[in-house]
Structure 1
Amino acid sequence: MAHHDRRGLPVSTRSDRAAEHYRAGIDLLLAAWPGAGEALNAAIAADPTFALAHAARARLHAMRSESAAARASITRAAECVAQTGTERERSHVAVLSLAIDGRSEPALARALAHLDSWPRDALILSLPLGAFGLLAFSGRPDHDQARVDLCERHAHAYEADDWWFGVSRGWAHTENGAVARGRALTEHGFSLRRENANGAHALSHALFEDGAGTEAEALIAGWLPGYDRAGILHGHIAWHAALAALERGDPEGALALHAEHVRPTVTAGLSLNVITDTVSLLWRLNAYGHAVPAGLWDEVRAYAAPYFTKAGFGFADAHMGLLAAATGDRAAAEARIDALTGLVEAGTLAAGEVVPAICRAALAFADGDDALCVRILEPVAGEVVRIGGSGAQREVIEDTLLVALMRAGETSKARALLDTRLHRRPSPRDARWRARITA
């Protein structure tokens, strides 16, 4: 009996149970829902030669930054697929192998070519998509548009009731500025599968970009209790609620969400999310004029110490620069800036000169030298998109520039930036700032 994945692609296993567990595992992986590892382990137990199950397990290990386990699993997948795999399965394993090895540029090229032949291979399509996907971290300034183009190129291959594709397509449109369309697509996809953390996450983004912060808070408050704390997006989705609380001027509410869900001691999230969420939330609190409780910066600095020690990953570098500046670790900040500058000069830093500029501007901001912060950050503001992540995540850099402009007395520039932001996304905080500098 031939077996297939959830979207009708053949899979090379003779075991009914292995195929069933594999389909369940991929569903859970694409939904960022707990249990994917167990399901994939069950598929492998039922058929130890099932290459795609080993490959998916490798992907899950890689998402958790479990590098050794990821390499072991993808090596086993390659061994198995060489014996029994189809052309599609061999290509599938090859793409994941490149991604797991950190060879992002060839992984992206190979993934795009693969999808031209097998667009319904959802696990491979997921790799270029998302805030932390291969496109987002490619250094391209047009990665938001590129994700939309990719989704639209392959939309014909997916049914209207495909919950994963609907959410992924919606998120791409939202991040690219088509918020109404993105929100509608996301809401439809999420309605098809509520046990879907990627759906709740994408809808939180859509509501943020739509200026619907209170709706985002209500969504998250109602949905998050049903998502196990072991879920990798639990803390990050709560971070979105904390942003909404800050938007409406409730720092105590934001800190309460941080304490319960976001801080390193309480979350099981990905290290990249834990560090960037905590750093950006605490930085925003400080920039907005709110006190950061004692010990919180030290806590995230201790957690972050083993991670991203080597410069070269622009999104992480920017946040590690903010962390060093906020905690007064000038030596760490300057060492990272020097390393990043060297990578820029060598032409090997994907996001380019904007990354060391963010780190230098953060130091100036923390030192209270707002004029210097503006001089550094203003010329590269249009390039911040190149560090990847989402609009909501990158906004911390724009906020830094805006606050520096206001504090430096650059009223006309601050007003112009606020007008642009309010046109793009209604924000009660920006409206308050606009009224303050106009009065």
Structure 2
Amino acid sequence: MTSDRHGHVMSATGAEALPHYEQALDDLLFFRPQVLDTAQSVLAAAPHSVMGQALVAYLGVLGTEEKDAAAARENFGRFRCGLDTQRLTPRERMHVAAATAWLDGDLHRAGDALGDLTVDFPRDALALFAGHQHDFLTGNAQRLRDRVGGALDAWDEDDPHHGPLLGMYAFGLEESGHYEHAEETGLAALAQHPDDVWGIHGVVHTYEMRGRFTDGIRFLDARTDHWASGSLLTVHNWWHYALYTLETGDTARVLEIYDSALHHERSADVAMELLDAAALLWRLYLAEHQHGARWGRLADAWERRHDGPHYAFNDVHAVMAYVGADRVAQAQRLVEDRERWVAARPSGSNHAMTAEIGVPVCRALIAYGQRDYGLAADLLLPVRHRLHTFGGSHAQRDAIQRTLVEASLRAGRTDLARTLLSERIQLRPVCPYNWTAKARLEDMLGDPVRAEAARERAAAQAALS
């Protein structure tokens, strides 16, 4: 019977299919676009390969694309018809259970199943990767860290996939607040594989969270050949580059990056890329930069997708695009559709994500766009400490946190604004945005000395970049 290179038995996977599976797994870990083709090559050689089927099933859900998930659910369902699970290995049965739960929309049951799997089989790279991405999509920072950390002891450092695991671990460490350790771990991953775009991504997050914008730009500039094109993470890493540039105040360069890398006529308009585009433009919107034509094109792209209630995090970014494009009625229709869906009490994890976080945040964005800043603040305030439960990273969710800051300032709620800015400054003292907002608050409070001191600090930090 065929086994992978870590000794895991693979049912119904012959010698012809095994190299395709190993290549597909390698492509997955390094975010290569050809992973879809290499995964299908496994099934072309061995249609009943359990691990090949599981891999293709996971690919159907990892991109948060509703149509891809529906197709994967149908295909995996056909595969399971007549499948005698008792003839499978315990590891394969666990993968079937995890993939089935995820395809059925029960993300949390899928995450638990993948967690059990990696306890029993810590060298299962597919389970680790799928579980890691699952933890990111559900905003579970502790498990994002510990799922990989708990398996690393079973891996030899000379294993070709040890490096990508370090890259995953770096991101989990960063999301858990261990910034220095995360940076060291990410750099160790890149020492093994300089083209590990997820490892690059992990290090980039550590610089973002510590306000090391100069270091971040230099880090990315020095590695352009390894991340700036040709990967499934290219757009997202360009988004990080744009965030650094935004803090320096170079709006022209930010828009250049947006137009050339984030959204343009050749963009694939997949959800993961569209939300990066929306999140960047929304930050500019909060700063009162008007970019109507860009918003219009982005809103058109979201509208063409005809998304149903699949992943609340995506819905929020679609609403950003509609509000930015001054298509409030369209944003309202999306929210009303989600509210009807929530009222029907469907099964699946996205129900709670939408009801508890997605709808209130979307309503707040609409209120902000209509200049009802008090309502926007009222809607965001109760959920601000629970935003992680609908997915994303700290850096991604900061667009929503900044919306709360801006809403409180514009509503004249100075006590709330003072509290929010104090929290932000204590956590991230190096952040020009925080100090610029602080200066505006002090102006409102009638303290020009403190306002000028905050402006000077913002300018000094931006100049360092």
Coarse TM-score class (shorter-chain normalised)? 0.7 to 0.9
Task: State the alpha-carbon separation in 2 of the partners of residues 154 and 383 from structure 1.
Answer: 28
Moved more, 305-314 or 162-171: 305-314
Look up the match of 1:59: 58
Look up the match of 1:34: 33
In 1, are the aligned partners of 2:367 and 2:376 still within 8 Å (CA)?
A: yes
1:74-93 superposed Cα distances (whole Å, 9 cap, x missing partner): 35764797497423223223
Q: Which amino acid letter does the alignment assign opposite residue 19 of structure 1?
A: L
Task: State the alpha-carbon separation in 1 of the partners of residues 278 and 182 from structure 2.
Answer: 28
Please state how far the C-alpha of 1:214 moved relative to its aligned partner: 2.1
In 1, are the aligned partners of 2:21 and 2:42 still within 8 Å (CA)?
A: yes
- The structure-2 alpha-carbon separation of the partners of 1:8 and 1:170, relative to structure 1 and needing over 3 Å to count, comes to farther
Look up the match of 1:316: 314
Look up the match of 1:363: 366
2:384 matches 1:385: no
Equivalences for 1:209-288 in 2 at 5 Å? 209-227=209-227, 229-268=229-268, 271-288=270-287
Please state how far the C-alpha of 1:226 moved relative to its aligned partner: 4.0
Look up the match of 1:151: 148
Task: State the alpha-carbon separation in 2 of the partners of residues 177 and 77 from structure 1.
Answer: 42
Moved more, 50-59 or 198-207: 50-59
1:343-363 superposed Cα distances (whole Å, 9 cap, x missing partner): 566666222433222122112
SS of 1:382's partner is: coil
Q: 2:432 aligns with which of 407, 428, 431?
A: 428
Look up the match of 1:198: 198
Please state how far the C-alpha of 1:49 moved relative to its aligned partner: 4.4
Please state how far the C-alpha of 1:395 moved relative to its aligned partner: 0.3
1:323-357 superposed Cα distances (whole Å, 9 cap, x missing partner): 23222333333333334445566666222433222
TM score, norm. by length of structure 2: 0.82
- The structure-2 alpha-carbon separation of the partners of 1:167 and 1:80, relative to structure 1 and needing over 3 Å to count, comes to farther
- The structure-2 alpha-carbon separation of the partners of 1:212 and 1:308, relative to structure 1 and needing over 3 Å to count, comes to farther
Please state how far the C-alpha of 1:386 moved relative to its aligned partner: 1.9
Look up the match of 1:105: 108
Moved more, 81-90 or 409-418: 81-90
In 1, are the aligned partners of 2:338 and 2:359 still within 8 Å (CA)?
A: yes
Please state how far the C-alpha of 1:71 moved relative to its aligned partner: 4.2
The percentage of counterpart residues that share the same residue type is 26
Please state how far the C-alpha of 1:173 moved relative to its aligned partner: 1.5
Task: State the alpha-carbon separation in 2 of the partners of residues 12 and 309 from structure 1.
Answer: 36
Equivalences for 1:107-186 in 2 at 5 Å? 107-130=110-133, 133=134, 135-138=135-138, 143-160=140-157, 162-186=162-186
1:162-216 superposed Cα distances (whole Å, 9 cap, x missing partner): 1122111121111111212222222212321122222222222122112222222
Please state how far the C-alpha of 1:388 moved relative to its aligned partner: 1.0
Moved more, 276-285 or 149-158: 149-158
In 1, are the aligned partners of 2:17 and 2:46 still within 8 Å (CA)?
A: yes
Task: State the alpha-carbon separation in 1 of the partners of residues 84 and 224 from structure 2.
Answer: 42
Task: State the alpha-carbon separation in 2 of the partners of residues 213 and 231 from structure 1.
Answer: 23
Q: Which amino acid letter does the alignment assign opposite residue 375 of structure 2?
A: L
Task: State the alpha-carbon separation in 2 of the partners of residues 338 and 184 from structure 1.
Answer: 46
Q: Which amino acid letter does the alignment assign opposite residue 30 of structure 1?
A: L
Moved more, 38-47 or 369-378: 38-47
Please state how far the C-alpha of 1:241 moved relative to its aligned partner: 0.6
In 2, are the aligned partners of 1:204 and 1:240 still within 8 Å (CA)?
A: yes
SS of 1:350's partner is: helix
2:294 matches 1:296: yes
Please state how far the C-alpha of 1:12 moved relative to its aligned partner: 3.9
Task: State the alpha-carbon separation in 2 of the partners of residues 103 and 385 from structure 1.
Answer: 17
Task: State the alpha-carbon separation in 1 of the partners of residues 95 and 342 from structure 2.
Answer: 33
In 1, are the aligned partners of 2:182 and 2:202 still within 8 Å (CA)?
A: no
Gaps of 5+ in 1: none
Task: State the alpha-carbon separation in 1 of the partners of residues 131 and 2 from structure 2.
Answer: 29
Please state how far the C-alpha of 1:124 moved relative to its aligned partner: 1.7
Please state how far the C-alpha of 1:234 moved relative to its aligned partner: 1.2
Between Structure 1 and Structure 2, how many residues are aligned? 430
Task: State the alpha-carbon separation in 2 of the partners of residues 81 and 73 from structure 1.
Answer: 13
1:231-258 superposed Cα distances (whole Å, 9 cap, x missing partner): 2211111111111111111111111111
Q: Which amino acid letter does the alignment assign opposite residue 202 of structure 2?
A: A
Look up the match of 1:350: 352
Task: State the alpha-carbon separation in 2 of the partners of residues 381 and 264 from structure 1.
Answer: 32
Q: Which amino acid letter does the alignment assign opposite residue 95 of structure 1?
A: A
Task: State the alpha-carbon separation in 1 of the partners of residues 381 and 13 from structure 2.
Answer: 60
Q: Which amino acid letter does the alignment assign opposite residue 426 of structure 2?
A: H
Task: State the alpha-carbon separation in 2 of the partners of residues 20 and 405 from structure 1.
Answer: 57
Task: State the alpha-carbon separation in 2 of the partners of residues 208 and 176 from structure 1.
Answer: 14
1:380-400 superposed Cα distances (whole Å, 9 cap, x missing partner): 222222221111110001111
Q: Which amino acid letter does the alignment assign opposite residue 51 of structure 2?
A: L
Please state how far the C-alpha of 1:281 moved relative to its aligned partner: 0.9
SS of 2:132's partner is: coil
Task: State the alpha-carbon separation in 2 of the partners of residues 328 and 25 from structure 1.
Answer: 43
Moved more, 348-357 or 386-395: 348-357
- The structure-2 alpha-carbon separation of the partners of 1:209 and 1:45, relative to structure 1 and needing over 3 Å to count, comes to same
In 1, are the aligned partners of 2:296 and 2:325 still within 8 Å (CA)?
A: yes
In 2, are the aligned partners of 1:248 and 1:429 still within 8 Å (CA)?
A: no
In 1, are the aligned partners of 2:167 and 2:202 still within 8 Å (CA)?
A: yes
Moved more, 276-285 or 260-269: 260-269
In 1, are the aligned partners of 2:227 and 2:237 still within 8 Å (CA)?
A: no
Task: State the alpha-carbon separation in 1 of the partners of residues 50 and 82 from structure 2.
Answer: 5
Task: State the alpha-carbon separation in 2 of the partners of residues 365 and 345 from structure 1.
Answer: 25
Gaps of 5+ in 2: 443-449, 452-465
Moved more, 10-19 or 186-195: 10-19
Please state how far the C-alpha of 1:20 moved relative to its aligned partner: 2.6
Please state how far the C-alpha of 1:21 moved relative to its aligned partner: 2.8
Please state how far the C-alpha of 1:15 moved relative to its aligned partner: 4.5
Look up the match of 2:207: 207
For the aligned residues, what is the CA RMSD? Answer: 2.9
2:24 matches 1:20: no
Q: Which amino acid letter does the alignment assign opposite residue 301 of structure 1?
A: A
In 2, are the aligned partners of 1:344 and 1:353 still within 8 Å (CA)?
A: no
Look up the match of 2:188: 188
Task: State the alpha-carbon separation in 2 of the partners of residues 315 and 253 from structure 1.
Answer: 27
Q: Which amino acid letter does the alignment assign opposite residue 252 of structure 1?
A: A
